[in-house]
Amino acid sequence: MELGMIGLGRMGGNMAQRLLVSGHRVVAYDTNQDAVAGSRSLGADGASTLEELTAQLTPPRPIWLMLPQGQPTEDTMDALAPLLQPADVILDGGNANYKDTLRRAEKLAGMGIDLVDVGTSGGIWGLSEGYTLMVGGKDEVFQRLEPIFQSLAPGPDRGYSHVGPVGAGHFVKMVHNGVEYALMEAYAEGFELMAAKEEFNLDLPRIANTWRHGSVVRSWLLDLVVSALEDDPSLSDLQAYVEDSGEGRWTVQESVDLAVPAPVITLSLLQRFRSRQAQPFGAKLLAALRNQFGGHPVRRSGDGDD
């Protein structure tokens, strides 16, 4: 098959490469023309404008967007849509909020253009390992584009599925990322507990590697724990500052909207917020209250300073 690929960053560029290796024709575009040149060197046809990209594809045209969620995706869709015609398809593989996807799909439907939302997981490892794809959209469009999903997935018979109508792909990916937050937090707490047991002098990389084989807690995330600890067992080169992509927040908000409790996912998100705070006000107030009602000692600013 042939398709356009817009967005050649860490994931988009690798996805284009994986498709090329599988024999698909890719017309690549990015505002960074160095990235376009890199894709050309791998066999893609390059484009310097959206107009040039659409002109190089034969209708009905599938065009995959791999862009940051929010305004970059919104602006690109708005610029791309007038260049398309009925039966063309825009595939959004970014981490969009499913509510934005539903709104965009309705707008595009008025022009006869289908939107397919593809929740995509795999990160920088996707090129070699394949991507997990959670696809939302019309069944007939999914079937027509299935060879693309088969090439990007870990195998032609696994790692991808049509999860529901448009919006469902990004919704399922949102929940996927919420679960990921919780799993990461569980590993982090467990290994911190073992690191604190200093009298045992535990070999954390060895323990993590042991857990990888036969244990009920084995996973790809645990494989990555091993990799991180083998590189730096004390993690002394890192700061305890954890960002969030936004999908964990959306997952927690959805749990509130649906009145479905998700306490572990919620707490894992809050832990990320806490990691960014130095001397958080709430902890100071806790100390102040203990001092107020019980006369318990507190540490004042400057205590222990030279």
Alpha carbon distance 40, 61 (integer Å): 20
Residue 107: active-site member: no
Q: Token match 């696809």: residue?
A: 135
Please name which of 55, 14, 51, 13 lies closest in space to residue 32, comparing C-alpha atoms: 13
Neighbours of 295 (CB within 10 A): 8
- What is the length of the chain? 306
Collect contacts of 138-147 with beta carbons under 8 A, ≥24 apart. Answer: 138/114, 138/165, 138/166, 141/89, 141/114, 141/116, 142/116, 145/1, 145/62, 145/89, 145/91, 145/116, 147/1, 147/24
Task: Give me the catalytic one of 106, 140, 146, 180.
Answer: 180
Structure tokens that stand for 47 in this block = 């484009």
My answer on whether omega of the bond before 60 falls inside 30° of 0, hence cis, is yes
User: Among residues 99, 146, 173, 197, which one is catalytic?
Assistant: 173
What is the set of active-site residues? 173, 180
